[in-house]
Structure 1
Amino acid sequence: MSETSVTRGEAVAAINREREAWDTLLAEVGEDRMLEPGPMGDWTFKDLVAHLTDWRERTLRRLEAAAQGQPEPPAPWPADLEDDDEDKAVDAINAWFQEQSANKLLGEVLDESRASYARLADVVQQLPDAALTDGGYFAWTGGQPLGEAITSGVIFGHLYDEHETEIRRWLAGRPAETPASATRTAR
């Protein structure tokens, strides 16, 4: 347990703040621009929303299983996409995610994204206390308690660390700096 444990209420409040920030960003982009190639090279903003939601879904499936006392579910992607070279594996998984979402309508992608925040808040309410306070509870949090990972923004960090700069450049009408590497993701 960490010295200053995050309460369930603090974790849910952080999720709600992240959802509000995400909704603000979606409004800034506007649905009329979401089908254009944009901040991620050839990917549209819709592709980026689906990409972020697909990785969040991986986290949600893990948390929902834990809340139900079940073992961690397998990854949703085919096992042959796993590779000892993490960058190669992540690129293959990202391509697989994009392929899975390619035919989804924009409204469906946005609905799934918004629903993922509500699901995250709901599952945090269902998890045992130790899941929020014990850094060893989930191996995939790297020893950080889930509550801290949520309130510090680590669990949402991929958007900010890997995509926000390019999104802001795109919104400002400036070209992206690194579109080839922009589709990589940290799990």
Structure 2
Amino acid sequence: MPRPTTKKQLLETIEIEQKALEQLLAGLSPAQMTQPRVVGQWSVKDVLAHLLEWQHMVLNWHAAGLKGKVPAIPAEGLNWSQIPQLNQQIYEKHCNRALADIQREFKSSHKKMLSTIESLSEDDLFARGRYAWTKTSTLGSYFISSTSSHYLWARTNIKKGLKADKQK
């Protein structure tokens, strides 16, 4: 699927990838959702926590940018080469949370992403230089990375991890 370049394409791609991920998750038991080492050391629950935390970060970056602030991206004291450390921090923050809480928060985060995207204009999403904090990128690319692309990554890796577990 080509990378979205319009708001309509972005919303359609998010819907397609979200439905595919939800379909995969619907076929899993709570035990399968919390089984460790499906994706690296992570359970499926941990993957969902990872997705929702990245969505929260993008929403927070956007909110800060609207106030004229330049957010710490990807996180305070970290740069893009330190994503593994950031992802470990995310894991540690959420690993002891209940599955139901993570699922509920993931659905809420997804809805917030959609409502934010829907509130933005085509230029807000895809015009380069629209926001100082996005530098040479577009706001849309941040939304793509934290929704449809991340959902595809999650689905692909969960399927691969579950398949590998069955072959053991």
Instruction: Please give the range of the TM-score, normalised by the shorter of the 2 chains.
Output: 0.7 to 0.9
Moved over 6 A (4+): none
After TM superposition, give the deviation of residue 77 of structure 1 in Å: 8.0
- Bigger helix share: 2
The alignment covers a number of residue pairs equal to 162
Match of 2:25 in 1: 26
Match of 2:98 in 1: 105
Answer yes or no: is the 8 Å Cα contact 1:169–1:175 preserved in 2. no
For residues 144 and 78 of structure 1, the distance between their equivalents in structure 2, rounded to whole angstroms, comes to 19
For residues 133 and 78 of structure 1, the distance between their equivalents in structure 2, rounded to whole angstroms, comes to 23
For residues 48 and 18 of structure 1, the distance between their equivalents in structure 2, rounded to whole angstroms, comes to 15
Match of 1:170 in 2: 161
1:135 to 107, 128, 140: 128
* Structure 1 residues 90 and 149, CA gap change in structure 2 (3 angstroms): closer
Q: Identify unmatched segments of 5+ residues in structure 2.
A: none
* Structure 1 residues 165 and 141, CA gap change in structure 2 (3 angstroms): farther
For residues 18 and 159 of structure 2, the distance between their equivalents in structure 1, rounded to whole angstroms, comes to 18
RMSD of equivalent CA atoms = 3.3
* Structure 1 residues 19 and 141, CA gap change in structure 2 (3 angstroms): farther
* Structure 1 residues 175 and 159, CA gap change in structure 2 (3 angstroms): farther
For residues 107 and 93 of structure 2, the distance between their equivalents in structure 1, rounded to whole angstroms, comes to 18
Q: Identify unmatched segments of 5+ residues in structure 1.
A: 177-187
Identity of aligned residues (%): 20
Q: State how 1:40-79 maps to structure 2 within 5 Å.
A: 40-65=39-64, 69-72=66-69, 74-75=71-72, 79=76
After TM superposition, give the deviation of residue 64 of structure 1 in Å: 4.2
- TM-score between the two structures when normalised by the length of structure 2: 0.74
